[in-house]
Structure 1
Amino acid sequence: MPDARILGRAEFARQTSAGGSGDPRVAVTSDVDPRVAMVLEVLSGREAESVAAEWDIEAQVVHRWVRDFLVAGTAAVTNRPDPDEARQRDRFLATFAHELRTPVTVAKGWAMELAEEGLPPEDAARAIDVLTDSLDRLSTSIYDVELAACVSLGRVRVNREHVAVGALARDLPGSPAVRTGASLLAYADPALLSRILRDLWLTAHRDPAPSSVAVDVIETSAWTEVRVVREGTPISPAVLKALFDPFGANDDTTGVTMGLYIARALTVAHGGLLGAEGDDDTTVLYTRIPRPSTDQEES
């Protein structure tokens, strides 16, 4: 499950900042992705645990990035691409087709109703409403795929600025206030971070209905972390795994299709990571965005 783990509360609470000789945020102002910077430090001889502590991140995540980096490099050098790539592509196409099928079917049915003569005005008005909703769903799905394709090709433009997370939260369904860290700013693209937060918020409200959902923001030396905290019946590990790797879980019984794929892709475009943690009472969905350098914070 990319960038996601199910942890106990004790480990979740461990967000200490270990001192390092340099400022890890320097990567935000350069052309080097923070994750690549961490991998290169490990490959240069530093312990992964030391690099992870400097960046306020879990060591096992750094180990996985190093492994993935080496696997990808081996595939490029040997001219033997990962055999799973075609399978992932086919799963993605199947997922996308599943996302389109329902609104297309609904739109087709109501268009046939409108084509019939003598349709009562109230039924015609309802047909137009349903058609509009179906077209909106189609438009959203197509935009999702465009975003995913742009990210995979490295073509997403991330226009970073200091963003008030509280303002983005007020645009969510129910207009929630940020519970903790309301005054903190994230250095991110406002439109993309808004989309990430929306996806986390909607995921946190999936069935079975939670008792409450809140937004918290915290800062470490390297990251601004935006958390969507769900209290009550937790989201099961199996569903979380499907949400982060949705291509094989597109049946109607789970409701999982694109899942958090877009949110993760947009987080990756910021040089950050998306994850999930939880216990028997709580599920925490989070996005970590690299903090800017001191010079950028003062600008």
Structure 2
Amino acid sequence: KKYDDEIGKLSDTLNYMAEEILKREKMKDEFISSISHELRTPLTSIKGWAITLNTDDLKDQPLIRDGLEIIEKESDRLTHMVEELLDFSKLSSRKITLNLEKVDIIYIMKHVEKQLSPRANAENIKFDVTYPKSLPSILGDENRLKQVFINLLDNAFKFISDDGKVEFSARQDKGNIIICIKDNGCGISEEDLPYVKEKFYKGKNSKSKTGLGLSICDEIIKLHNGSLEIKSEENKGTEVYVTLPADREEQENEKD
């Protein structure tokens, strides 16, 4: 009887593993189909405007401006998608390297605030950035951390309506620096929340082109020996907590 129970458990485990593999294969197939479509759309737009500008009267300045503006925006979309795919490839093959140095989180937050404030103003979003007078440094890659915060804030901006609010804050908690990005947008469903950091996953409210953004952010933070936690409630908003270890050497010097 005990033998039968063990066989039954093994069978259940193998069936579960097979289902998970099939599920991931399906997600991968959907990803390939989706990314092919997403790459084709801006290329079609760029080609269409290139043909228009090449054949139409070049004295029509408003038409030229419209065409060049669309070409620029669609090129930016393509660049962003290709960069995500390259990052995903590097992370998957463990070939990504961090340029580690002492980093001031407040300096990074000020830079990100300066970069995203014009967008917040244009979209009528209240963008609150708060931090203490000083925080310990962390050992990190400044550009990769900027990438993570901009990606997370971009998500927050996408999922709130006019007159929405996004908060970007930092604080120290014992030996860690905790950065929080909070919005009062549409939130993430209870069904989707456990999977949003998985590669290729797109929830019902997703506006991601690749389904890789949060997965890449999570991997970059893990490479910093940190963690990325998401709390959300549908129709109420989302809170993302990035926890990074403060520089030990600096903290020990402060104690002395």
User: Fold conserved (TM > 0.5)?
Assistant: yes
CA distance in 2, matches of 1:161, 1:94: 39
Note the 1:8-87 alignment, pairs <5 A. 83=21, 86-87=25-26
Q: More deviation in 119-128 or 242-251?
A: 242-251
Q: Does 1:166 align with 2:106?
A: yes
**Map of 1:41 onto structure 2:** none
Note the C-alpha offset of 1:138. 1.0
Q: Structure 2, unaligned stretches of length 5 or more? A: 1-17, 119-126
Structure 2 SS opposite 1:200: helix
CA distance in 2, matches of 1:294, 1:122: 58
Contact kept? 1:273, 1:288, Cα under 8 Å: yes
Deviations 1:25-54 (A, max 9, x none): xxxxxxxxxxxxxxxxxxxxxxxxxxxxxx
Q: Does 1:286 align with 2:241?
A: yes
Structure-2 change in CA distance of 1:121 and 1:281 (3 Å): closer
Structural RMSD (CA)? 3.3
**Map of 1:204 onto structure 2:** 156
Deviations 1:80-135 (A, max 9, x none): 9x835644543443343243233222212212211214252321232122112211
CA distance in 1, matches of 2:203, 2:35: 9
Structure 1 SS opposite 2:98: coil
Contact kept? 1:91, 1:248, Cα under 8 Å: no
Contact kept? 2:178, 2:243, Cα under 8 Å: yes
**Map of 2:131 onto structure 1:** 180
Note the C-alpha offset of 1:265. 2.4
Structure-2 change in CA distance of 1:275 and 1:96 (3 Å): farther
Deviations 1:242-273 (A, max 9, x none): 6433624388x742333422212221222322
**Map of 1:271 onto structure 2:** 225
Structure 1 residue aligned with 2:32, among 86, 89, 93?
Answer: 93
Q: More deviation in 188-197 or 232-241?
A: 232-241
Amino acid across the alignment from 1:133: K
Q: More deviation in 189-198 or 116-125?
A: 116-125
Q: Which has the higher contact order (CA 8 A, sep 6+)?
A: 1
**Map of 2:12 onto structure 1:** none
CA distance in 1, matches of 2:148, 2:47: 31
Q: More deviation in 148-157 or 282-291?
A: 282-291
Q: Does 1:195 align with 2:147?
A: yes
Structure-2 change in CA distance of 1:94 and 1:159 (3 Å): same
Structure 1 residue aligned with 2:187, among 235, 241, 249?
Answer: 235
CA distance in 2, matches of 1:296, 1:154: 30
Structure 1 SS opposite 2:242: strand
Contact kept? 2:128, 2:166, Cα under 8 Å: no
Structure showing greater radius of gyration is 2
**TM-score of the pair, normalised by structure 1:** 0.61
Amino acid across the alignment from 2:130: R
CA distance in 2, matches of 1:200, 1:171: 15
Structure 1 residue aligned with 2:173, among 220, 235, 254?
Answer: 220
CA distance in 2, matches of 1:182, 1:127: 46
CA distance in 1, matches of 2:188, 2:52: 41
Structure 1 SS opposite 2:187: coil
CA distance in 1, matches of 2:147, 2:153: 10
Contact kept? 1:226, 1:286, Cα under 8 Å: yes
Amino acid across the alignment from 2:132: G
Identical positions, percent? 20
Structure-2 change in CA distance of 1:193 and 1:107 (3 Å): same
